[in-house]
Structure 1
Amino acid sequence: MESYQDEILVLQVNNWQTADKKVVCYSREHGKIVFMAYGARYPKSVSGRLLQPFACLEAELYPGTRVDKLKTCQLAAPMPQMELEQMAYGFLMAEMTERLTEQGEPSGEIYSLLQNALQLLVKRNPRLAALAYLIRLLDHCGIGPVYEVCVNCSRLAEKDGWFSEMQGGFICEECCFGHEKSPDLQSFHEETRKLWQRLRMLDFSEPGHFSVKGAALMELEQILHRYLVYQTEQPINSLSFIRQITGGN
């Protein structure tokens, strides 16, 4: 069986059996890959020491039916030096990348987006970096919500309104007026939409400096996190870690 090589970003590492590791990564050429690293838990294993979340590696693997097998790996870039909060938001980005992508569906754009977002994470506000990445990731996966026009009447979103994860985006006040509001509706203020647009268009290599209102940031996080839960039909596990270290509710 012939091996193949690719540059990978490690998303998730789990211990497996007594001496192995099961790894989920996103690669430049092959997209999401799940592979086994046999013997990686032994103290003398070089590969085992490199297989850490967010590591950028040159890997050689043997293809399998569902799970590939690691032959060798080496660093393709220095290991990121993250503080605890940066790591927590990195786990959020990694978790959603793993959830929203499929094996056998490569995207060089998603790989570059994730690579640049991880670099931005350690340089700027990790909370904003993670939000910007998730917004762009949803767009690349083809499930980005509509926020510039009303999903019901196509009226331009020019004032405060509502957001529905079930209907996939912004609903204007006129479409809600006189009707019983659905339980999934959340307030979606104009300032929040402006922040959404600002993060969606953010240049990760040169993000610039801009101010953010706390209320808009919190509302955008709530909208986006609920939308991700709706799309994946699973709770976001990394949010509990974020709340634990930031003191959030």
Structure 2
Amino acid sequence: MARYTASALVLGVHNWGDADKIVTLFTRERGLIRAAAFGARRPKSPLAAGLQMFNEIEAELTEGQRLDTVRTASLLHHPKKLSEDLAAMSYGSFVAELVREFLPEKQPEPAIYTLLGKVFAAFETRNARIVALMAAYQLMEHTGLQLSYERCAHCGKLLEGDAFFSEQAGGALCAEDRAADAVPYPAQLREFLARIFAYDWRPNASSTVTRDNLLAAEQMLIGYLLWLLGHPLKSLVFIHQLG
């Protein structure tokens, strides 16, 4: 079977058998990959240090029919706060779960790999809740499941002032095309979302957020994810339990 090398972010780790792990890697070269790491739970395993959540690694893998196999994993970067701070870890897990849920396996997405690297770096210095919110909205734009936020999803008109919003209708709606299930969509929320989509993750980029906009944007995102999946994400359940 063919061997290959890939730069990878560790987005999922699960115990398997007595000493092995199943890992989900997001690679620059091949996109999302699930792989077996045999013996990775043994204390002296050369794979143990690299295959931790949120690490960036250089991995050598062997292709398999159902799962690839991790042969080596050299640590490139270990995000300290994501491994030690419970809030950062929880919101980082939410971002990782979004990628696992909505991106297809083995489809290269170098732009998302770059974005995730910037997002994980931002968790080290910024408010974890705000970082996760901005990352989630930007990631959903890459999935093909994005909603319309600036224009009416029905007529295409550029929105001005307050409007309405419906996941089932495809997003924002003008007053003339308001759906029965639509909820209010204030202009200030639309402007806040526009800033989220334009956020470029530079170290000195501003991310000032009002409480009202934060809560409204979270509610909109969570409602959409629930509508898509039919069940809440495990990471969001845990974050809710944290209070």
Partner SS for 1:72: strand
Q: Does 1:104 align with 2:101?
A: no
Which residue number corresponds to residue 215 of structure 2? Answer: 218
Which residue number corresponds to residue 72 of structure 1? Answer: 72
Could you list the per-position Cα deviations for residues 42-65 of structure 1 after superposition, in whole angstroms to 9, with x for gaps in the alignment?
Answer: 121131232111010111000011
2:88 counterpart (86, 89, 93): 86
Q: Which runs of 5+ in 1 are unaligned?
A: none
Distance 1:106 1:163 in 2: 32
* 1:108/1:150 CA distance change after superposition, 3 Å: same
The aligned runs of 1:1-249 (5 Å cut-off) are: 1-82=1-82, 83-176=85-178, 181-182=180-181, 185-206=182-203, 208-245=205-242, 247=243
Which amino acid is 1:5 matched to? T
Shift of 1:173: 2.5
Partner SS for 1:140: coil
More deviation, 92-101/80-89: 80-89
Distance 2:9 2:25 in 1: 5
Distance 1:71 1:167 in 2: 47
Which amino acid is 1:146 matched to? S
Which amino acid is 1:26 matched to? F
Distance 1:73 1:61 in 2: 9
Could you list the per-position Cα deviations for residues 128-170 of structure 1 after superposition, in whole angstroms to 9, with x for gaps in the alignment?
Answer: 2112111111112222210111112222211222221112210
Which amino acid is 1:155 matched to? K
Distance 2:119 2:207 in 1: 17
Distance 2:237 2:231 in 1: 14
> Following TM superposition, where does structure 1 have runs of at least 4 consecutive aligned residues deviating by more than 3 angstroms?
none
Which amino acid is 2:118 matched to? N
Distance 1:212 1:223 in 2: 16
Q: Which runs of 5+ in 2 are unaligned?
A: none
CA contact (8 A) 2:160 2:187 kept: yes
Could you list the per-position Cα deviations for residues 76-111 of structure 1 after superposition, in whole angstroms to 9, with x for gaps in the alignment?
Answer: 123433311111110000000011111121110010
Q: Percent of aligned pairs with the same residue? A: 35
TM-score (norm: length of structure 2): 0.93
Partner SS for 2:200: coil
More deviation, 208-217/83-92: 208-217
Partner SS for 1:239: helix
CA contact (8 A) 2:79 2:121 kept: no
Distance 1:75 1:40 in 2: 14
CA contact (8 A) 1:55 1:80 kept: no
More deviation, 58-67/136-145: 136-145
CA contact (8 A) 2:147 2:170 kept: yes
Q: How many pairs does the alignment contain?
A: 241
